Structure 1
Amino acid sequence: MSEVEVLPGTTVGVKVVDGVVLAAEKRVSYGLYLMSKSGKKVYRILDRMGLASAGLIADMQTLARIIEAEMRIYELDAGITPSVWTAAKLLSYVLYERRLFPYFAEIIVGGMDETGSHLYSLDPIGAIIEDDYVALGSGSRLAISIIESSYSSSMSLDDAEKLAIKAIEAAMKRDAASGDGIDVLTISKKSVSEKSLTWPLH
């Protein structure tokens, strides 16, 4: 039996008590062709929520636009800020509706709400798994090994950010579809920070 094909790129999410970190590398490739070294695969959604993905860049961008628009409509209609679960579940419906002709993207949804920090991973047809950490894409095996060797739910958000960066860096060194820098979104109750790191890291 052949191995299940994985989508190009590497993205990770790490959840701790104080918040969530989403990170992804920046390479955009189609097969053996390098299209861009500055692809954006991490998106901020509303004030305390984000999305990160691996796969085809057009599908990632489309899904990010859909979920942001839907969450803003929900916020206006309901008069409350949607929970992270609400965003993940809505995205699950969007993906499942296209199951016969799926989006080529694996998604991580993470953020903070009234119940604390949350991290969900979704496959291309909408299955949801909540976890403390996740790695998706062609470099996920390398990235997850780094996270599992050092992760603790009691670690600080700062250390979680460093761990996510280290995991993406490990994937970029060995996975041909991953590279060219790292985008990081760090979400806490008090603030949200976005940073873009160039490769090689110093």
Structure 2
Amino acid sequence: MEALPGTTVGIKVDGGVVLAAEKRVAYQLYLMSKSGKKVYLILDKMGLASAGLMADMQTLARIIEAEMRLYELDSGISPKVQTVAKTLSYILYERRLFPYYAEILVGGIDEEGSHLYTLDPIGAIIEDNYSALGSGTQLAISIIEAEYKPDMKVEDAKTLAIKALYAAMKRDASSGDGVDVLVISKDKTYEQTYSVGDIEKMFSK
């Protein structure tokens, strides 16, 4: 299967998880938008990021958020990150004959700590410390592998995620136009958007 358009990365550290993706929406040789959102907060301490077809990303984000809200109402407890990832895995596998055109990262914090899961379009699931998906994967992962440390601070993980995406944006035609970041830590959860100019200033020193 060919690499899906765009680039998204996830980094897990002791204090939390960072999910990030660039903002370009491209299909083959066509640039559809420069303001696509590929990172989604699903619950207070959980989110997902994806690469692929924009409509499929948005659909999967809506489906899994609805499923987890129902889970909370029915059980009276907040789902674990693994529960979110496994539920999404079942949804993807059910559509394996006509799969969603998306690769997904699920990350968050629960009572067991921080977690990051990678899912392919038909539901295979892997837990890891960091991951990169999409057409800029090789460029992004090379930066993360060189600098990642499990005990690094969440803010340093955020900077590393942006740096990895910046490397992909400079060389992958399907990646570009800024970065959306979702930071989930024990103390707070927040989303932030960086323009190309912002990123260039960060790494121009």
TM range (shorter): over 0.9
Q: Percent identity?
A: 73
Unaligned runs of 5+ in 2: none
CA deviation vs aligned residue, 1:21-66 (integer Å, no higher than 9, x gap) = 0000000011101000000000001100000000000000000000
Residue 65 of structure 1 aligns with an amino acid whose one-letter code is R
2:75 maps to 1:78:
yes
| TM-score, reference length from structure 2 | 0.96
Aligned pair count?
A: 199
2:100 maps to 1:103:
yes
- Residue 135 of structure 1: aligned partner: 132
Unaligned runs of 5+ in 1: none
The structural deviation recorded for 1:11 is: 0.1
2:184 maps to 1:187:
yes
2:38 maps to 1:34:
no
The structural deviation recorded for 1:129 is: 0.3
The structural deviation recorded for 1:111 is: 0.2
- Residue 41 of structure 2: aligned partner: 44
Choose 185-194 or 122-131, whichever is displaced more. 185-194
| TM-score, reference length from structure 1 | 0.98
- Residue 53 of structure 2: aligned partner: 56
**CA distance in structure 2 between the partners assigned to 1:17 and 1:78 by the alignment:** 28
CA RMSD of aligned residues (A): 0.5
The structural deviation recorded for 1:190 is: 1.7
**CA distance in structure 1 between the partners assigned to 2:168 and 2:122 by the alignment:** 25
Residue 165 (structure 2) aligned to one of 161, 168, 172: 168
**Which consecutive segments of 4 or more residues in structure 1 shift more than 6 A?**
none
The structural deviation recorded for 1:161 is: 0.5
